[in-house]
Amino acid sequence: MTAPWAEWNHILKIDPDKELPDEVTYGDLCATGTDAVEIGGTMGITEENMAAVIEACAEHDVPLYQEPSNPGVVVDDDALDGYLIPTVFNAGSPFWITGAHKEWVRVDGDLDWGRTWTEAYIVMNPEADVAQLTEADCDLTADDIASYAKIAERMFGQEIVYVEYSGTYGEESIVEAAREALDEATLFYGGGIHDYDSAYAMANRADVIVVGNLAHDEGVDAVQETVDAANDA
C-alpha cells in the first residue's frame, strides 16, 4: 500500500495551544486544499485542547493526523486518519528518541499499529521550543544532516524524515543535503514558511512542506498561497 504522504505536497500544522486570528475558522483552514492537517505543538498541549481541535476539524473533508508531543496528550478518536509520532534523531535526551514512545506503549498497551507511524525529526533551530525541550544538538553541518537522514532511512527504516526549523526559515542547502541522502523516505520540511516564494523554494527541495505559525499569525489567505506554491513546485 502506498503511504498516504507519498502523494502530499503540503501539511497544515495546527497548534491547539495557539489561537486563530479573528474571523478565521478551522473549516476555512481545512478548505485551503492542504493535503493533510496535523494537530500538534510542543508547549501547552493537553488532551482537552487536542480533542477540541480534532473535533473542529473532523467535520471537514481533509485527512487528519495527530502529532502528540508526549504520551499524555494522545487522543483516541476515530476521526483521525492516524498518528504521526516524532522521534528526534538529534535529541540530547533519549526520552525524545525512544523513551516517550516506550512509556506510551507501557501505559496504553496495544496501540493501533495500522494507524501509527513515526517521523524522524532533525531539529535545526536552537531557539525553538522543540529544540530546547529535547536538548537537541542543532550545531550540525550539511554532512551531519545527510548522515542523519541516511541512517534514519537505511538503519532505522524511517519512512518520513522531517527537517524541522520551527519558527524560522531554514538553510536551503541543509534541506538539499537531506534530499540527496534519501532514496525512498519522504522528506518533510517545516519552519518559517510565510508566503508563496518561501513555500515554493522549500517545496522544490522537500517532498512535503509543513506550514504552522502562519495559520495562527496571518490566517487563511496566507496559508492558501503556500498551498498553491506547494502544488506549483
- Contact positions vs ligand 1GP (CB under 6 A): 13, 164, 166-167, 190-193, 210-214
Q: What is the DSSP letter of 111?
A: -
Residue type, 139: D
Nearest residue (CB) to ligand 1GP, 120 versus 211: 211
Q: Are 202 and 209 in contact (CB under 8 A)?
A: yes
Nearest residue (CB) to ligand 1GP, 100 versus 210: 210
Nearest residue (CB) to ligand 1GP, 16 versus 212: 212
Nearest residue (CB) to ligand 1GP, 167 versus 219: 167
| Smallest distance from ligand 1GP to CB 227, Å | 13
Nearest residue (CB) to ligand 1GP, 68 versus 190: 190
Q: Can you say how many angstroms the Cα of residue 66 is from the centroid of all Cα atoms in its chain?
A: 10
| Smallest distance from ligand 1GP to CB 141, Å | 21
Q: Residue 233 and residue 231: Cα distance in Å, rounded?
A: 6
Q: What is the DSSP letter of 168?
A: S
| Smallest distance from ligand 1GP to CB 166, Å | 4
| Smallest distance from ligand 1GP to CB 184, Å | 22
Q: Residue 60 and residue 78: Cα distance in Å, rounded?
A: 14
For the stretch 201-225, what's the b/e string if a residue is b when 16 or more beta carbons lie within 10 angstroms of its beta carbon? bbbbbbbbbbbbbbbbeebbebbbb
| Smallest distance from ligand 1GP to CB 209, Å | 9
Q: Residue 216 and residue 204: Cα distance in Å, rounded?
A: 24
Nearest-CB residue for ligand 1GP: 190
Nearest residue (CB) to ligand 1GP, 30 versus 222: 222
| Smallest distance from ligand 1GP to CB 130, Å | 7
Residue spans of alpha helices (H) in the chain: 26-30, 47-58, 99-108, 129-134, 142-154, 172-181, 196-203, 213-217, 220-232
Residue type, 72: G
